[in-house]
Structure 1
């Protein structure tokens, strides 16, 4: 079982296993890129990102999204975390209120705290963010933006329905609400594609769509993109960091351009989809066998299974016992703006092979049994 440091199965590890990182493909792409002999690759780049790379990326996304993407509507970022920080810098001020889904990505909450933002959670259901709750919150708050993860949401795995996406775009138009869509899982479906990304609404709603190669290729590239209408991208490019840096990650952009042009990114993504589908199925089967008292919805894509434990069990309080048994996870309260989801936990299936996933669930079952015995 590779990638199991100190024998701990850490289901909190939301990254691919080393065996899935495309080292050979990156080497081939780097050789192809450097063979062009273009020294500009090592120079400061354009604020929006290299136009040739953006053209290659637009073709890749047009194919994978099954909806047209223009290079003019793409700005290159150093991954989604950096893009989200840049959006906060340019579109918010300390003390502003923003809306997030409840639950939401726990590290995004850290970014928002860094910017001194007041976070208001909007509940979700099986179709995504609840529009009734959003409309109600808009009568009481004037948010600078709404942060949403529309497809295979982190942590819940929920995918926003097509109708809900259309309604959310209408809310954006009616209230001049900036929607920041974290779409890093959009391309990670297990055979049933989600509705078109919120990026499809950039022409008629205030939408910034964030994407990344971290989830579909390799996190260490630190390369992603922001898709949006020209006025929104222009506002982002007025950043002092962007001006001073001369664009973001021009060298990595050159290598990934070759990865895209050679078809290696497509081939690598197809491998990930097959492996993640298999790992997800193994994890869910192990959960059904070992933890019949737990409930969850089997994911149709993404990285995570969002598990609900019996009401007598606190995921946070269970964690030390779990670690003692050799397994870890992310407790639900991390993903809440109000410390909710006490009996929920997030399990990632991306980082471990099938044997480690089964072992981790068995250890989790033993930890729950110990916890429950000690609580009696």
Structure 2
């Protein structure tokens, strides 16, 4: 063994890869978590090392509900929260309990490509439905619903990955109405809900649920640290019950009781709010730096400035194949995500996604300069 790999992604020295959709390692809150851990250990509560309550620690859910309520501007009931090991794990659990091979799920076109992989693992029939600058196109979705019978719709309603768009209130209400009419669940991936750089987005989808059909998914991966593997479902108690009582948790107990206890302390100490504000300021600056540089040096790219999240979704003229461009870009030690990865129909070949969260401003500018050698 010549090296020990610790992280999911390892970047080669000298490379700048806009395709990495992760937080900057140098920004991760080591000192804040050390302080929170010290606070928790002083309580000398060994229960945090025991098998956890299936729904998640009550202490943590109360802290989380308080934090979320402050961020959303609306009350959050701790009984409507279920602790997960992040959104990916939540999606896996939803598939395990609600689907069988061959079932249909509807996703946005484009959609988060790694969620598509989870659905493929469960051998689900994945059907794409188009979006526009305001997210899901409701009329197009209803045409799909009349033809297919999905178990659930997977949507990223706020600061979409990769498109960056946000579903307005009217469409959120229409989506919920359709879920009742056609009898399907809405699984809302809202990992970027609190990372807004201008006006606050609409409330999470769970607030529009009138008939027990919405599961909102949140995570600390983008607002604190992905290595914590800590997130939550936000839904009516009747929707959470199958997860709370499933065999997986009956055997292993609630998810992440130790980590959630430390994050509970971090919230109580006010550090989560402070760190979130720091991230929003930092990412806002990086987003502005990248959008301005792309417009100046690669005018052929067409995109709308994101109002939150991590990404810039851009397109080149029809007929362009961004996979060919990526091969050329790699010769200049620069990368990006190609549009086809986000397509359930293997389309969107002229699209590409940039992330502005992983690198500082100097590297972002250097990466654009390299990319401008092959795209003008």
Q: Match of 2:38?
A: 31
SS at match of 2:126: strand
String of CA shifts for 1:100-130, please: whole Å, max 9, x gaps.
0000000000000000000000100111101
Question: Are 1:76 and 2:76 counterparts?
Answer: no
Question: Are 1:278 and 2:285 counterparts?
Answer: yes
Q: Match of 1:310?
A: 317
Question: Are 1:153 and 2:160 counterparts?
Answer: yes
1:283: Cα distance to partner? 0.4
Deviates more, 1:296-305 or 1:241-250: 241-250
Query: Aligned equivalents of 1:275 and 1:233: distance in 2?
Result: 35
Q: Match of 2:267?
A: 260
TM-score by length of 2: 0.96
Q: Residue 53 of structure 1 contacts residue 253 of structure 1 at CA under 8 Å; is this kept in 2?
A: yes
Gaps of 5+ in 1: 370-376
Q: Match of 2:335?
A: 328
Question: Are 1:347 and 2:357 counterparts?
Answer: no
Q: Match of 1:373?
A: none
Q: Residue 311 of structure 1 contacts residue 343 of structure 1 at CA under 8 Å; is this kept in 2?
A: yes
The 5-angstrom pairing of residues 85-164 of structure 1 reads 85-164=92-171
1:195 to 197, 202, 207: 202
Q: Match of 2:214?
A: 207
SS at match of 1:275: helix
1:174: Cα distance to partner? 2.0
Q: Residue 303 of structure 2 contacts residue 315 of structure 2 at CA under 8 Å; is this kept in 1?
A: yes
Question: Are 1:236 and 2:243 counterparts?
Answer: yes
1:231: Cα distance to partner? 1.4
Q: Residue 112 of structure 2 contacts residue 342 of structure 2 at CA under 8 Å; is this kept in 1?
A: yes
Q: Residue 176 of structure 2 contacts residue 210 of structure 2 at CA under 8 Å; is this kept in 1?
A: no
1:256: Cα distance to partner? 0.3
Q: Residue 199 of structure 1 contacts residue 207 of structure 1 at CA under 8 Å; is this kept in 2?
A: yes
1:175: Cα distance to partner? 2.1
How many residues end up aligned between the 2 structures? 367
2:253 to 229, 246, 267: 246
Aligned structure 1 segments of 4 or more residues deviating by more than 4 angstroms: none
Query: Aligned equivalents of 2:299 and 2:132: distance in 1?
Result: 23
SS at match of 2:375: helix
TM-score by length of 1: 0.96
Q: Please, what is the CA RMSD of the aligned residues?
A: 1.2
Q: Match of 2:56?
A: 49
Gaps of 5+ in 2: 1-9
